[in-house]
Each structure stands twice: as C-alpha cells, then as structure tokens.
Structure 1
Amino acid sequence: MQVLMLSSSRVGSEGYLQHAIPMIDQHLRDHKEVLFVPFAGVSVNWDEYTAMVQTALPHLTIKGIHQYTDAKQAIKSAQAIAVGGGNTFNLLHQLYEQDLLKLIQQRVRQGLPYIGWSAGSNICGKSIRTTNDMPIMQPKSFDALNLVPFQLNPHYSDYQPPGHNGETRAQRIQEFCILHPTTPVIGIREGSALLLQRNQLTLKGELDGLVFKGTSQTVITANQDLSQYLT
C-alpha cells in the first residue's frame, strides 16, 4: 500500500497544504490526476473545497468525487485519491451513505496512492474513536478504512492553556487506552505525517510524535521506522 497520512493541511501561518507539497509530489510520483473526497467539509461546500485544493496544488488535476455521476466508477478508474480534513463524523457518514468505504479500502490495498490530511488521515485507522471532532453526524459505524491496525490522532498537541481545567489531549487518548489497552494510538503533530509504503511505516516531518498503548507513552522521532505497529 501507498498511504500518506498528514496531520494537518497547514503549519503555523503557512499557506494551505504548502508544507505538504514535497511529500505529496514524492508520494504521487508520476501521477498527475487526483480524485478528491471533500465529504469532511461542512462550513465550506464541496465545490469550493475542491477548488481550494486545486489552487493549492496547481501542478495537479484535482477532481471532486461529488462531481461525478458515478462515484464508484470514479474510484475504480482513479490514478490517486486524496481525502481532505474537516469533520471526521460527517466524512465517515457520507462514505457509508454512498457505500464507498469498502471500495476505497479495496483499491488502496491494491496499490492506489492515498493521501489524507486531518479527518482524511483519521479514517485510515481502525476506527474514528480518537478523532478530535464533535459527533455532528452519526455514521453507520465508527469503523474506518483500517488501512493500518491502530488509531490515529492528527493535530496532536500537549499544550494546555493557562487556567484551562478541561482534559488534555493525552488524557482523552488515555481514556481510550484504558478501554482498549491492546490498540496503539499514534499522535502526530501538525506538519508531521505517517507514510506507509508496502510494509514499512515511517514518521515524516521534523517533530516528534507519541504512541499511546495501555498505560505507556512512547516518543517517536522523525524518520523512525514504526513498522512494528503494523502487526
């Protein structure tokens, strides 16, 4: 499989997807046409979302899956697929409603290059139970693409504003780990990505990440081989 799981679409004040262009280009190699899935978009309509991605990646041809009369055929004939961020629950709801989840899973497992960011990365894991989003829609199931046998937490941050008394991100993930002690959760910071190529998993970017499993937390570093988490 060829799966690029970006934590975010932006880093700091940089432009939309600008930090990710080198990773995207290397991932796509000679493929220039990308089928874009904008279903995580809620506050932006899907045509506008697709146009925003096209503007950010002018050297590629971006076509929204919603613009095809036959979405399944679009997936079957795609050179590559990209799934954008937004609300993970709405994204997964739409994939179930349109019966596209298993087809995307099948094609990616056959080698179709996949690029996701934020919500689009979150659905690469076993489920969306470690998303940061509010459940504004109720999908048929929380089960996701299961391209990797662990959970993801994009936009991971251990920052806590002064005076804020709510749970930290780490505490929320630890709640998951208490109930699911054998399932790892990999937190990737903005600007970072997980890259799955064939049977090798690597952390890309300049920042460390974290792996939560059971009661343990393990720091992972840039370019570290994480293939142990594929079993």
Structure 2
Amino acid sequence: MKSIIIASTSTLHGGKYLEYILPALKSHFKNCKTILFIPYARPSGISHEEYTQKAAEAFNAIDIEVKGIHEFKDPQEAVKNAEGIFTGGGNTFLLVTQLYKNNVMQLLSETVKNGTPYLGSSAGSNICGLSMQTTNDMPIIYPPSFQTLGLIPFNLNPHYLDPDLQSKHMGETRETRIKEFHAFNSIPVLGLREGSWLEVKGDKITLKGDLSARLFKQNQEAQELEPETDLSNLN
C-alpha cells in the first residue's frame, strides 16, 4: 500500500528544517530505522554531503538515521533496499535529470507504489505528479523527459502564492502560469500553500495542514479546498 507525504516546503518561516511536519513524519516512518535521502535537486551552494547532513539533523529528532543515495555505489540497489525514502527540494529540472541519469526514476516510482514510505518536499513533491511541468523552477538543465513518478493522478504547484493585491508588480501570477499550462494540458493542478501537505495512504489522498489549497482544472474556475479534503477521485 502506498504511504506518501507530499509537502509544499521543508521549512516554514521562523522554523527549523522539517520542524513543522516532524510529528507526521514520526508516524509516517515509524517502521524505519534508516531512510534514504535523495539530494539530487541542489544545483549549487551546498554539496550532497552537506544537504544529507541537514536532513540527518532533522530526522535525528525522531531517532531515524539518514543515508544519502550518493553514498552508495549502485543507486538502484539503494532505492530497492531502502526502508523509507526522502527526496529534498531544490531545482526540479536538475532533480529529474539526475533521476533519469542514474536510471532510478521508474524504479523509484515502482518502489513507492509497492509500499516503501516516501516523503517529498518542494522539488521532491513536484515529481510525485504526472509531470514536472507545473514547477516554479528555472530550466537550468534539460531533462530527458518531463514525465515523473505518477504517484498521484494530477500535478502539483508547491509554494503556491496568492496574488498580492497591494503590489504594483505587473508580472505573471502563479494562477496565470497554471492557466497557461491548461491552455495545452488537461491535467488538474493543485496549488499547495506553505505548511500544507498531502497524505497518501493506498488510493486515498487527503489534504493536510492548516491552510487551504487551490485546485485548478482546465476550462474551470479555480476552487479552494479546505484541510481534510479527500482528493482521491481527482483526475
């Protein structure tokens, strides 16, 4: 049975890395002594080792050890043998490129679908959808495909921001960009605000956190979805 947490972000303003979601993670990874961390999304400023250490410090609070996928000679074996998996944030284009380069995109999808508990945040959440095409990230590298894990039957827009009505900025809003996506694609898109996440248990998908999420469908008005909304039938 699938067991997945898909978080908009890893860090809330004023909080520590993963702090706000640790109670949920303690239950989510309750049968794991060690989890595999995938740091592929970080393009610069922090090494895979440093990024893994950051994750390790957070999980230390709930007595779980963290090992980076880069520490293993064979990334595929690392994924196959993982008790649990966490993919961190960064740049989604880079993350997807690296997953394909290391031949773990399909394997990761199959592993999580077969029941290995998974956590994604930001870029690690973007890849849970059908494609990465609704990411906010710049295309700093060109991946072999935009197709991602397909763990849920829709796309995500993590870090979703509402328009600031007091701002004089005349550029595109997140809503505008998602509508542009829907000019060519029919996949629903869920805008996840900071501090919100999805809990996936088998075929059931539930919105969690304190804030509503914004749902976009092609040729329809956007909807506000309150916490605890069941999204299992969204496709």
Tell me which interval the TM-score lies in, with the shorter structure as reference length: over 0.9
Instruction: Indicate the residue corresponding to 2:99 in structure 1.
Output: 95
Instruction: Indicate the residue corresponding to 1:74 in structure 2.
Output: 78
Instruction: Indicate the residue corresponding to 1:127 in structure 2.
Output: 131
Residue 30 of structure 1 deviates from its aligned partner by 2.2
| Identical amino acids, percent of aligned pairs | 42
| 1:211 aligned onto 2:212 | no
Which stretch of the first structure deviates more once superposed, 118-127 or 52-61? 52-61
Instruction: Indicate the residue corresponding to 1:51 in structure 2.
Output: 53
Residue 159 of structure 1 deviates from its aligned partner by 3.4
Residue 11 of structure 1 deviates from its aligned partner by 1.1
**TM-score (normalised: structure 2):** 0.95
Residue 106 of structure 1 deviates from its aligned partner by 0.8
Aligned equivalents of 2:213, 2:34: Cα separation in 1 = 31
Runs of 4+ residues over 3 Å off in structure 1:
none
Residue 8 of structure 1 deviates from its aligned partner by 0.0
Residue 183 of structure 1 deviates from its aligned partner by 1.2
The count of corresponding residues between Structure 1 and Structure 2 is 229
Instruction: Indicate the residue corresponding to 1:198 in structure 2.
Output: 202
Residue 16 of structure 1 deviates from its aligned partner by 1.0
Q: Of 177, 185, 194, which aligns to 1:172?
A: 177
Residue 144 of structure 1 deviates from its aligned partner by 0.5
Q: Of 152, 174, 190, which aligns to 2:156?
A: 152
**TM-score (normalised: structure 1):** 0.96
Residue 20 of structure 1 deviates from its aligned partner by 1.3
Residue 32 of structure 1 deviates from its aligned partner by 2.3
- Deviations 1:104-148 (CA, angstroms, capped at 9, x unpaired): 011111111110000000000011000000000110001101111
How large is the Cα RMSD of the aligned pairs? 1.0
Unaligned runs of 5+ in 1: none
Aligned equivalents of 1:185, 1:103: Cα separation in 2 = 24
Letter in 2 for 1:102: Q
